[in-house]
């Protein structure tokens, strides 16, 4: 696990957040019953899981990405956060094949809000067909505290324009890509509200 961390964490930092923590603590906790978790610069791992699944080293890749995602404030829906972490595991994982971990085959029951691997597959499609570095742009928006607490879709166009102005002023993000990143969130929220979250795009089916 430690070797995996030192291999993937520098890559995650370079690609997604160069200002991420330099000090990360690992805790092997026999009393922890889930698989693993990351918070406040600490990655906690269930030893029983690793004993039973010794090839699942890229649990570390996922949890280390959460350290990179330690945003200064609210960062949007949790399904996006978990989806990005699994997307990065898909991209940078060092032992996925041996652990038999992969993104799932598409089914008509999938919703891009399902989080984890299902959402990760959706992000593969987003970055391949819409915005090449959408995940990185999203993280930058979170770092800049530009992701609002959206509980509904009141005045979405006005909000979108306002965020575009903020992004432009920041000087740290391409205006068009930033606006599109926010736009995807608003479209997602609209789809959720209308219960239209299943994958329907034909090109998405053929993403791999």
Q: pTM of whole model > 0.85?
A: no
Q: For residue 156, is pLDDT > 80?
A: no
Comparison of pLDDT for 199 and 120, the residue scoring more = 120
The predicted structure's pLDDT at residue 149:
46
Complete edge-to-edge strand list for the sheet that includes strand 36-39? 25-28, 42-45, 36-39
**Every domain of the chain and the residues it spans:** 2-205
pLDDT classification of 172: cutoffs 50, 70, 90: low
Scanning 47-174, the segments in alpha helix (DSSP H) are 47-52, 59-68, 78-92, 116-129, 134-143, 156-170
Compute the Cα dihedral for 26, 30, 32, 33 and give only its sign: positive
Token digits of residue 168: 């432009």
Q: For residue 77, is pLDDT > 80?
A: no
The predicted structure's pLDDT at residue 11:
97
Rounded Cα distance, 118 and 27, in Å: 28
Query: Do 181 and 137 contact (CB within 8 A), yes or no?
Result: yes
């Amino acid at each position: 696990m430690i070797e995996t961390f030192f291999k993937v964490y520098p890559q995650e930092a370079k690609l997604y957040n160069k200002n991420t923590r330099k000090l990360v603590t690992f805790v092997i906790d026999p009393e922890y019953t889930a698989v693993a978790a990351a918070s406040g610069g600490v990655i906690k791992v269930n030893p029983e899981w690793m004993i039973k699944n010794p090839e699942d080293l890229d649990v570390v890749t996922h949890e280390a990405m959460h350290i990179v995602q330690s945003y200064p404030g609210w960062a949007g829906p949790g399904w996006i956060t978990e989806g990005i972490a699994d997307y990065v595991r898909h991209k940078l994982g060092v032992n996925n094949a041996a652990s038999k971990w992969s993104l799932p085959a598409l089914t008509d029951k999938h919703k891009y809000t399902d989080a984890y691997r299902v959402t990760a597959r959706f992000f593969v499609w987003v970055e391949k067909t819409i915005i090449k570095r959408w995940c990185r742009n999203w993280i930058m928006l979170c770092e800049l505290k530009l992701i609002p607490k959206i509980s509904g879709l009141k005045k979405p166009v006005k909000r979108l324009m306002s965020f575009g102005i903020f992004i432009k002023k920041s000087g740290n993000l391409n205006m068009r890509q930033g606006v599109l990143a926010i736009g995807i969130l608003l479209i997602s929220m609209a789809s959720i509200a209308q219960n239209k979250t299943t994958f329907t795009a034909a090109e998405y089916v053929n993403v791999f």
